[in-house]
A and B are shown apart, each in its own frame.
Chain A
Amino acid sequence: MLFKLDSFTLIGIDAIKVSVEVHISRGLPEFIIVGLPGKAVNESRQRVRSAIINSGFDFPVKKIIVNLSPADIKKDGSYYDLPIALSILAASDQIRCGMFNESCFIGELSLDGSINPVKGLISMAEKARGMGRKFFFVPYEIANQASFISGVSIVACKSLVETVKVLTGGEKIEKFICKDKDKNISNRNNHYNFDLKDVKGQLKAKRALEIAVSGRHNIMLIGPPGSGKTMLAQRAVSIMPDLNLEECIEVTKIYSLYEKYVNHLIQERPFRNPHHTISRVGLIGGGINPRPGEISLAHRGLLFLDEFSQFPKNFIEDLRQPLENKTVIITRNNLSYSFPCNFMLIVATNPCYCGYFGDESRKCICSLREVRKFWKKISGPIIDRIDMRVTVARLKESSFIKTECGESSNQIKNRIKKCINMQNERFKGKNVSYNSEIGINIINEWLKNNKNIRDLIYTISRKYNLTARGMVSILKVSRTIADLEESENIKDCHIIEAVHYRVGSNNLDNSICI
């Protein structure tokens, strides 16, 4: 007797359909799984057998062959316990139901027959919708994760028995369909633990962050220890506009690969702050079964590299391609896995080895040569991709107590939203969504059409020894500043302000060759 039903496997963050085929024939009792099963899949034989018996069904004493097709893709993980168990029950005629053709199944079985969570559920739900299936049977605990995918009903069952009851009509299916999707995503109130108003003083850095987030410019914070670089970076995520549903799903997809117990749609912007001892694979992604790295976990959010100069140079070089392409492609085992990584980069660093270069009260003990050496460690091509460099000074104790709190994150967020809308409007139909992605051709056009800007840029570049790349950065940032003021054209004042975030500190000019 033959039976077949559909399940999924994951390649990267994308799900592909896997048919679970079961053939029960006469012969010596045997239970074989074929189709390149991994260790976890092979072990599922024991789980399935116990779960079937403990749920009150009979485990057929016959020769059972399970095939996972396509048979040439390696399958790993405990996804197929539930589909295999159901196929065996159906193939041995213990259950009969017409819903199999319009359903898919996923889930790990416990020995007692209850269903445990698996990874990557939301990608599978999306695939199920793409295949036009009506029902997707998922583990109860994490069903909410997939519930925002419209077009397919997510059926959340706690155990094998429950699943069988639903399938055979013993229980009404409506009762088990996950209804979380009725919640309106736009009405949520995102709560971040940090608010930008907690940061006292640092007006320049706050303004710079606002601009950086508005135009999605990568930004570098330079300052002595204790000046608030980390504090500022942590709060940057609280001024980013909320994720829309599509983005939420993208983020949840990535996170569901990492953790089994993601039981809701992730709605906060991710903020990743990896330590500098991280491995290359941990940062970029990879491994034998490639998994997303920190850059993908920061997708649609912030990647914050604290103590930037401590990161190994070659890791930093690895960031170049992902920063440009917004995806990272990893090739392993004859397959290419692509992970999205559209993130904003914030890096923080001390200005020198001792950390106090440019500090007002404590004197730096590094020689100029050491300072240069320190900056040489930071790769030039990456520095080039960082449009803004902002110096952060330490606040004196007295002014720390006196200074009032500034604007709250929500106020700033509203301004940023407007600015981003303006950019979207302007770049409609183009392959660009933020000012930081503007190509050189657009910038040349600005320069051609506006003599004022040309003259000013010329003066500035002479004064500060700017390279061409530096000038392009300044123009991009000044476009964002203009957008924040809802100004149609870039004016002189915008460019001059932008210079402030490029040159950073005059003191550092010698050391960082801009």
Chain B
Amino acid sequence: MKNTNGKKILYILVEKKVKPARFIEIYRKNYGDINKTLDYFYKYKSLKLEYGTDGEDHIDFNHSNNCYQKVVDFILKNAVGLLDIGENSYPDILRQIYLPPPLLFFRGNKIKKAQFSIAIVGSRKCTAYGREVAGYISRNLSRIGITVVSGLAVGIDSYAHKAALEEKGGSIGVLGCGIDIIYPPENKYLYEEILSNGSIITEFLPKTPPLKNNFPVRNRIISGLCRGVVVIEAGEKSGAIITCEMALQQNREVFAVPGNVFNSMSRGCHRLIKSGAKLVESIDDILEEFSQYSEGILKLCGNSSYNNNRQANDKQSAKLDNNELKVYEFIGYNPKSVEEIVKYSKIEVKEVLRILTSLEIKQLIKEDSFNKYSRLF
């Protein structure tokens, strides 16, 4: 493991039980110089300099009561990465929040410094409408290269992650437990999927159970990582609302998607809108707010030729045969049923079914509702 600073911080936090808040305080007093900060702790806190700066050979673990060692062993064994606050790739916007985590555990891709991310949060008990909106907004954001951050819970979170992974922006999941714990267990597949096109991060030590108190703490990282938070469906009192409060404290934009006035799951969103959150109908509403931030992002989204190019490439690379092309062309963005496809294309049912699966495998179409298909992008 290369990250010696990370290990030092881990040692300070775990073994010497320095509170993260204290660590950050010293870090800020030293104007963000990580080496000075570490020196401070070693000198003034009378920590023995067990850390040789040039490698782990010099580390003497005889003094420790194994907790630190266990964590180190764990991260070595499971290819878990450490991202410390002093590192260059530690996201600047996260560093700026009131209490940034001094150390993050991560799996999957390393977080990029300049990654532009938006958080999508919402209720675990979402409605079908919520599912749809989460997928719609998340997919579109991801398509123009924005990373979608969420909390890997069931409901809105899962759908946001899932849709974001379909596109190039990818997704970051922030856990409220140790990195080795998959909570809720239903999201096992999702967890693995995210590892392939995104990252999973947490500030909690490995094997930390998903305690109730962890989640508000986690929410501050979700909002801290992002420029804005989109609330899709939220009850009156919910984690999503807490995330929004954090976001406001951290000077982030808050967006809310309106819902059915009769549905209790819309209460939270509507209250947010009433008190000034921006109403979101499509991602344009979100991007509008960030026009000053990053030209690069707007370049991407204003540029519709990107989509067309991608499709053209897809079609070519997938090498569709005649019938497949015919069916693909007929399936537009509005869902078409198997019956309609058969009627239009005059191809036999069995052939149509085969084509549909084969297009699905090639990631060109998806099943919208039962037996209705539409193009994926």
Whether A368 contacts B126 in the complex (CB less than 8 A), given A204-B349, A359-B369, comes out as: yes
Q: How far is the CA of A77 from the CA of B377 in the complex (A)?
A: 71
Q: Are B127 and A496 in contact (CB under 8 A)?
A: no
Question: Min CB distance, A227 to chain B, in Å?
Answer: 8
Whether A358 contacts B369 in the complex (CB less than 8 A), given A369-B125, A403-B339, A497-B353, comes out as: yes
Task: Pick the most buried of B342, B356, B369: most chain A CB atoms within 10 A of its CB.
Answer: B369
Cβ of A227: which chain B residues have Cβ within 8 Å of it? 370
| Nearest A-chain residue to B159, judged by Cβ | A368
Q: Are B371 and A391 in contact (CB under 8 A)?
A: yes
Which of the segments B102-110, B217-225, B288-296, B358-366 contacts the partner chain?
B358-366
Q: Are A203 and B370 in contact (CB under 8 A)?
A: no
| Nearest A-chain residue to B353, judged by Cβ | A500
Task: Pick the most buried of B128, B155, B356, B372: most chain A CB atoms within 10 A of its CB.
Answer: B128
Number of interface residues of A (CB under 8 A): 42
Question: Min CB distance, A363 to chain B, in Å?
Answer: 4
Cβ < 8 Å to B, chain A residues 289-332:
none
Q: Are B338 and A367 in contact (CB under 8 A)?
A: no
Q: How far is the CA of A201 from the CA of B371 in the complex (A)?
A: 11
Cβ of B127: which chain A residues have Cβ within 8 Å of it? 363, 365, 367
The DSSP consensus for interface residues of chain B is helix
Which of the segments A149-157, A240-248, A265-273, A457-465 contacts the partner chain?
A457-465
Q: Are B353 and A207 in contact (CB under 8 A)?
A: yes
Q: How far is the CA of A506 from the CA of B372 in the complex (A)?
A: 11
Is A416 part of the binding interface, using a Cβ–Cβ cutoff of 8 Å? Answer: no
Cβ < 8 Å to A, chain B residues 318-359:
335, 337-339, 342, 349-350, 352-354, 356-358
One digit per residue, 1 when the CB lies within 8 angstroms of any chain B CB and 0 when it does not, for chain A 471-514 equals 00000000001000000000001001101100101110010000
Q: Are A368 and B158 in contact (CB under 8 A)?
A: yes
**A204, A363, A499: the one within 8 Å of B129 (CB):** A363
Q: How far is the CA of A367 from the CA of B154 in the complex (A)?
A: 10
Q: Are A463 and B370 in contact (CB under 8 A)?
A: no
Q: Are A493 and B354 in contact (CB under 8 A)?
A: yes
Is A347 part of the binding interface, using a Cβ–Cβ cutoff of 8 Å? Answer: no
Question: What is the interface residue range for chain B against chain A?
Answer: 20 to 34
Is A51 part of the binding interface, using a Cβ–Cβ cutoff of 8 Å? Answer: no
Cβ < 8 Å to A, chain B residues 149-203:
154-155, 158, 186, 189
| Nearest A-chain residue to B126, judged by Cβ | A367
Whether A364 contacts B128 in the complex (CB less than 8 A), given A372-B186, A465-B189, comes out as: yes
Q: Are A481 and B350 in contact (CB under 8 A)?
A: yes
Q: Are B357 and A497 in contact (CB under 8 A)?
A: yes
Q: Are A203 and B361 in contact (CB under 8 A)?
A: no
Is A60 part of the binding interface, using a Cβ–Cβ cutoff of 8 Å? Answer: no
Is A30 part of the binding interface, using a Cβ–Cβ cutoff of 8 Å? Answer: no
**B186, B339, B356, B370: the one within 8 Å of A399 (CB):** B339
Question: Min CB distance, A354 to chain B, in Å?
Answer: 10
Is A121 part of the binding interface, using a Cβ–Cβ cutoff of 8 Å? Answer: no
Whether A507 contacts B367 in the complex (CB less than 8 A), given A207-B350, A360-B372, A368-B154, comes out as: yes
| Nearest A-chain residue to B162, judged by Cβ | A510
Q: How far is the CA of A224 from the CA of B369 in the complex (A)?
A: 11
Interface residues of B (CB under 8 A from A): 124-129, 131, 154-155, 158, 186, 189, 335, 337-339, 342, 349-350, 352-354, 356-358, 360-361, 366-372
22 residue pairs from A and B, CB less than 8 Å apart: A203-B338, A203-B349, A206-B349, A207-B353, A223-B370, A358-B369, A359-B370, A360-B368, A364-B128, A365-B128, A367-B127, A372-B186, A391-B371, A392-B371, A399-B337, A403-B339, A459-B361, A460-B361, A481-B350, A496-B361, A499-B357, A500-B357
